[in-house]
Structure 1
Amino acid sequence: MPKDWSEQEVELAIADYFHMLKEELNGKPYNKSFHRKALIKLLNNRTESSIEFKHQNISAALASFGLPFIRGYKPRWNYQKAMLDKKISEFLQSNFKEFEHSFELFAESVPEMVKSKISFDIMLVTPPKFEEVSDPRATYTRRPVKINYLQREQQNQELGNRGESLVIQYEKWKLNELGLYSLSEKVELVSVYDDGAGFDILSRNPNGTDKYIEVKTTKLAKETPIFFSSNEYQFSKENQNKYHLYRVFDFSKSPKFFTVKGDFDSFCRKEPVQFKGWF
């Protein structure tokens, strides 16, 4: 059985990961295989697959901290929590200024939509398994960075508008493909005139009944955590038979999305991240 990673090995893996992350956030090319082969020489008899797994663990830790992660390293939540969180916190305390601009760029940049014809039939993908939707750890972890950059990205209005536009086009396309042109014309963006509705888009099912759609958009992978308000949560509980979440992801590369139906409790785990105090 392979030994647990030592502190020095974890530090080396974190430094290598952040080197790649900075390149990715700034739109610069890098070679993951080259990085793995260079890193493996510094470690204690580790395989390339174990290095990749560790990088996926780092992605999970960063996501739980509200920080962007490398798209190609899908978050894996089962990791040496205490050590990895501690070492990432220490790294950021010493190097945050070097990465602050890259984090800001991630949260604020909005990529252009691809000009070529959209192929909706290949954009819809399978949602993550329930246990992969969010970090199942129940213990509190102090975040090393005050700003939640994942939440800030999701609150980027222009990015959100483009994600909603994509979903509206998809809903109309789907109804038109069924020959339901009159229903297609009824698909509308509700949030533009009622920001407190609890959902973004009013669409229609093929039988003409209402379909409430909430859209969450990210430039990262489909496992990226989502952020939702108490109003959205309560609306989903009250309208779970009509409520749909559309998760648009990989928006900066080749946009895709998955859909889930029901209330938030039925398709993801929720974590309280903000409270209100009364006096």
Structure 2
Amino acid sequence: MARNEPWSDTENAVTVRAYLNMLEQELTGQHYSKTQYRREVAERIGRSEASLEWKFRNVSAVLADQRCVYVRGYKPAVNYQDSLADEVARQVRGRPDFFHKMDTAVDRDAADLLDLNWTDSVMPTEVLITDGPHRLHTRGYHTDYVAREAANKSLGDRGERAVVRRERSILEAADRRDLAEQVRHVSLEDGDGWGYDVKSFEPNGEERHLEVKTTRQSINWPMIVSRHEVRVSESKPEHYVLMRLYNFGDGTGYYELHGAISATCDLDPLDYLALPKAGAA
């Protein structure tokens, strides 16, 4: 088969079925082998494993554009065909408990991890979730899992506590126990209206105002920030740090964005506060 020949509906169907099987196993904590799935599907449809790898990434992009969780390790490849997106929607509708499994995985409580193997990362360089025509085309998806996971208070609290412990440890290692003792879990101790979660310090005494965003998903998973957090970051950008924790509890990584959120992030309004216009009735 020619490598550039368009994928048939049958090939798409087989590929999407395998991908959703992997995702369901991942959502329910079951062990599986990506390599085995890839080899079996490649052999069945007569495509190379490399081309199948890319197609799996296309399926990730379909789910990501619908704000759904996707298989770890298959980074979304955003240029996909409508026929593939339609096949994903068709098969998802044929799995009655698919979204229940995603709900359960996203909503589950996070463990209060005392020791994390932190990986310091640079920020992602690609926008992998878009609001293009695929997002606007309704295919029956019913939940924004980016927003849903961001609302998981257990996950957010555990991430913040991990950051508090880490900040204190760094200051103690720098022989600044005096500053370590002043690190404060602001959102827990003083309320969540300050626009940041943790007050910490650089070893030289400069303040760090850390807004912590925690996800179990990959480094490319987007964050939810509030208008208030944006305003606070703009008021004192020299102190403000947006700290992203990703893969939380499973090889936790992080990166930091320093300064005003409006300067360090592309901001996409998810919702609007709507008030009736005078005379609109």
Could you say whether these structures have the same fold, taking a TM-score greater than 0.5 normalized by the shorter chain as the test? yes
1:153-172 correspondence runs (5 A): 153-172=149-168
CA 1:4–1:231 in structure 2 vs 1: closer, same or farther (change >3 Å)? farther
Cα offset for 1:227?
1.1
CA 1:236–1:138 in structure 2 vs 1: closer, same or farther (change >3 Å)? farther
1:190-209 correspondence runs (5 A): 190-192=186-188, 193-209=190-206
Count of residue correspondences:
271
Q: In the alignment, what sits opposite 1:58? A: 59
Q: What do the CA deviations read for 1:3-62 (whole angstroms, capped 9, x no partner)?
A: 33333322222211110000011011111111111111332x422122112212222221
User: Which SS does the other structure have where 1:46 is aligned?
Assistant: coil
User: TM-score normalized by structure 1?
Assistant: 0.88
User: TM-score normalized by structure 2?
Assistant: 0.87
1:96-115 correspondence runs (5 A): 97-114=96-113
4+ long deviations beyond 6 Å: none
Q: In the alignment, what sits opposite 1:83? A: 83
User: Which SS does the other structure have where 2:97 is aligned?
Assistant: helix
Cα offset for 1:232?
1.4
User: Residue type of the partner of 1:17?
Assistant: Y
CA 1:81–1:164 in structure 2 vs 1: closer, same or farther (change >3 Å)? farther
User: Which SS does the other structure have where 1:248 is aligned?
Assistant: strand
1:119-158 correspondence runs (5 A): 119-120=117-118, 123-129=119-125, 131-132=126-127, 134-139=128-133, 140-141=135-136, 142=138, 144-158=140-154
Q: What do the CA deviations read for 1:245-268 (whole angstroms, capped 9, x no partner)?
A: 111111242222221212333333
Percentage of matched positions with identical amino acids = 27
Q: Bigger relative contact order, structure 1 or 2, given CA contacts below 8 A and separation 6+?
A: 1
Q: In the alignment, what sits opposite 2:17? A: 15
User: Residue type of the partner of 1:275?
Assistant: Y
Structure 1: gaps spanning 5 or more residues: none
1:42, 1:270 → 2: CA distance?
43
CA RMSD of aligned residues (A): 2.1
1:190, 1:158 → 2: CA distance?
16
CA 1:240–1:14 in structure 2 vs 1: closer, same or farther (change >3 Å)? farther
User: Which SS does the other structure have where 2:89 is aligned?
Assistant: helix
User: Residue type of the partner of 2:32?
Assistant: Y
Structure 2: gaps spanning 5 or more residues: 277-281
Q: Please identify the structure whose Cα radius of gyration is greater.
A: 2
Q: In the alignment, what sits opposite 2:279? A: none
User: Which SS does the other structure have where 1:105 is aligned?
Assistant: helix
Residues 107 and 150, structure 1, Cα contact 8 Å, conserved in 2? no
User: Which SS does the other structure have where 1:41 is aligned?
Assistant: helix
2:68, 2:240 → 1: CA distance?
28
Residues 248 and 257, structure 1, Cα contact 8 Å, conserved in 2? yes
